[in-house]
Amino acid sequence: MPSTPTRRQPERAMTAKTNATQPFADRLDAAAESLPGGGRPWLDRLRAEARAVYRETGLPGPKVEAWKYTNLNRLRRTGFAADAAPAAKVDTVPVGNALSIAAHQAVLVNGRFRPELSSLPEAGDGVEVMRFADALAREPSLLESRFGRIAPPAGMPLVALNTALATDGLVIRFRKGKTAEMPVHIVSIGAAAGEPVMFQPRLLVIVEEDAGGCILESHIGTGDGIYFSNGVAEIAVERGAMLRHYKLQNEHPSAFHLATAKAELAERAHYESFVLQVGGRLARNEIHAHIGGRRVECRLAGAYLLRGEQHVDNTTFIDHAAPESVSRELYKGVLDGTARGVFQGKILVRRDAQKTDGHQLNKALLLSRGAEIDSKPELEIYADDVKCSHGATAGELDDDALFYLQSRGIDEDTARGLLVDAFVGEAIEQIAHEASRTAFRQVVEGWLAEGRSKNQRDGDSEA
């Protein structure tokens, strides 16, 4: 975790040589001219810092401890088009890939907001959704105190890259004391046809004091080209506020998806995150939750269902910097084909965070020969009056359970499906918002059905 300031200052983000050949470094200056809000000193300074950080470190290599298991060489080798203009035309939101749920909808295509595809909340809904440029004009101080402050570029090369290049983004604000009834659903569509494209979705969420709300993200793709989505989300959950934040990563099978979310949790804040990753060729979702006030409740859950040659990484970091808080984490992975899953979860309990109660669990199911799971749960604890634990398991389906089902007349494929479903179900159960839970369950069922029909096809061709 390069950005973790611990007492001993472990490994700094590797001292990579300042190197002009770093991918994307050549486009930093050109982009600087055209970004919205240029001329504001704080924003110019922030972007200059971001460019400097990225120039110095570039894409993290495998020698950086936090990237030990996820190698970005494939991304490094791909040449991306200079401009993020959509290469594939998108006139409607493709159905079937995104979460299906009744919600306010904000649609981004290749990182750019598309008002004609969106249906934003109205005044009185308790939540506002603004385009980055509009927010900058209407509420400059709101952005100045948050944007690039919750997720500063220092030590985080991908955040730096996003900060230096993001041309658009969304600002979502839940108003003080109000609970928004309807969730906000952000649909980010990657659309590439010929040349590979890259884009930098950017999100800032502010949940004001005692407010409550739910945000869903669907990351999907259309067209046949390769694209690279490098998203950053900054989240502030203020005193006594509650945020449910659910994400579906269902990118195109050839896509690169790297995303970093940083959440600042104030006193009595409640943050609930769920991430389901099923798509992408190479994907990593990184969540940093900073517990800055007493009696915070932070729940992170997720599932990753992979097949083929997918490589998907879930990295989480919970930083207990204040006492009496609770964190819970549960991730479940199912790996088929020659897929590779990575889970890295760290809990840091700082000196003052007495009475912390932290628990983390990662379980992975390997369904086939050739699949691989790399798991690195980590505890770093400097306070003595705490209760922290973590667990990790890896294995195949329980033979006894399989036998039990078969002995009751259920065929092997169905039995396997049931067991996998139950295995993933435990993670899905963590989603407190009912309609969202149903939407995610549908995606899981779709994934399982795809596997069954694939098995059938394989079986037919063997016979």
Partner 1 sequence: MAATAKTIEQVKSIGGKYKFGFVTDIDLDFAPKGLSEDIVRFISAKKDEPEWLLEWRLKAYGHWLEMPEPKWAKVSFPPIDYQDSFYYAAPKSKDDAPKSLADIDPKLLETYAKLGIPLQEQEILAGVAVDAVFDSVSVATTYKGKLEEKGIIFCSISEAVREHPELVRKYLGSVVPYGDNKHACLNSAVYTDGSFVYIPKGVRCPMELSTYFRINAENTGQFERTLIIADEGSYVSYLEGCTAPMRDENQLHAAVVELIALDDAEIKYSTVQNWYPGDEEGKGGIYNFVTKRGACRGRNSKISWTQVETGSAITWKYPSCILEGDNSVGEFYSVAITNNRQQADTGTKMIHLGKNTRSTIIAKGIAAGRSDSTYRGQVKILPKAEGARNYTQCDSLLIGGDCGAHTVPYIESRNPSARVEHEATTSKIGEDQLFYCRQRGLSDEEAVALIVNGFCREVLQQLPMEFAVEAQKLVGISLEGSVG
Residues engaged in binding partner 1 (CB under 8 A): 7-8, 10-11, 65, 351, 354, 364, 366-396
Give me the least distance between CB of 309 and partner 1, in Å please: 15
Nearer to partner 1, 223 or 341 (CB): 341
Rank residues 104 and 340 by Cβ distance to partner 1 and give the closer one.
340
Residue 297 Cβ, how far from partner 1 at the closest point, in Å? 20
Dihedral through CA 431, CA 433, CA 439, CA 443, nearest 10?
-10
What whole-number distance in Å separates Cα of residue 321 and Cα of residue 196?
A: 41
SS (H, E, C) the chain: CCCCCCCCCCCCCCCCCCCCCCCCHHHHHHHHHHCCCCCCHHHHHHHHHHHHHHHHHCCCCCCCHHHCCCCCHHHHHCCCCCCCCCCCCCCCCCCCCCCCCCCEEEEEECCEECHHHCECCCCCCCEEEEEHHHHHHHCHHHHHHHCCCCCCCCCCHHHHHHHHHCCCCEEEEECCCCECCCCEEEEEEEECCCCCEEECCEEEEEECCCCEEEEEEEEEEECCCCEEEEEEEEEEECCCCEEEEEEEEECCCCCEEEEEEEEEECCCCEEEEEEEECCCCEEEEEEEEEECCCCCEEEEEEEEEECCCCEEEEEEEEEECCCCCEEEEEEEEEECCCCEEEEEEEEEECCCCCCCEEEEEEEEEECCCCCEEEEEEEEEECCCCCEEEEEEEEECCCHHHHHHHHHCCCCHHHHHHHHHHHHHHHHHCCCCCHHHHHHHHHHHHHHHHHHHHHHHHHHHHHC
Measured from the CB atom, the residue of 19 and 368 that comes closer to partner 1 is: 368
**CB of 428 vs partner 1, minimal distance in Å:** 23
Q: Which residue number, 385 or 460, has a Cβ lying nearer to partner 1?
A: 385
Q: Which two three-digit tokens encode residue 28?
A: 């930093």
CB of 373 to partner 1, least distance (A): 5
Q: CB 9 → partner 1: shortest distance, Å?
A: 8
Beta carbon nearer to partner 1, 195 or 374: 374
In the complex with partner 1, the residue whose CB is nearer, 6 or 73, is: 6
Name which of 11 and 445 has its Cβ closer to partner 1.
11
Of 138 and 351, which has the nearer Cβ to partner 1? 351
Contacts of 222 (CB under 8 A, 6+ apart): 88, 90, 94, 189, 190, 191, 252
- Give me the residue label for tokens 């965070």: 353
Q: Which is nearer to partner 1, 133 or 392 (CB)?
A: 392
Give whichever of 396 and 445 is closer to partner 1, judged by the CB atom. Answer: 396
CB of 400 to partner 1, least distance (A): 13
Q: Give residues with Cβ within 8 angstroms of 202, minimum separation 6.
A: 111, 132, 162, 166, 168, 169, 170, 231, 232, 233
- Six token digits for residue 409: 């007349």
CB of 360 to partner 1, least distance (A): 9
- Report the nearest approach of partner 1 to the CB of residue 277 (Å): 19
Cβ nearer to partner 1, comparing 11 with 309: 11
Smallest distance, partner 1 to C-beta of residue 362, A = 9
Q: How far apart are CB 379 and partner 1 at their closest, in Å?
A: 4
Q: Ramachandran region of residue 439, left (φ > 0), alpha (ψ -120 to 50) or beta?
A: alpha
- Cβ proximity to partner 1, 7 vs 408, nearer residue: 7
Minimum distance from residue 5 beta carbon to partner 1 (Å): 14
| Minimum distance from residue 377 beta carbon to partner 1 (Å) | 6
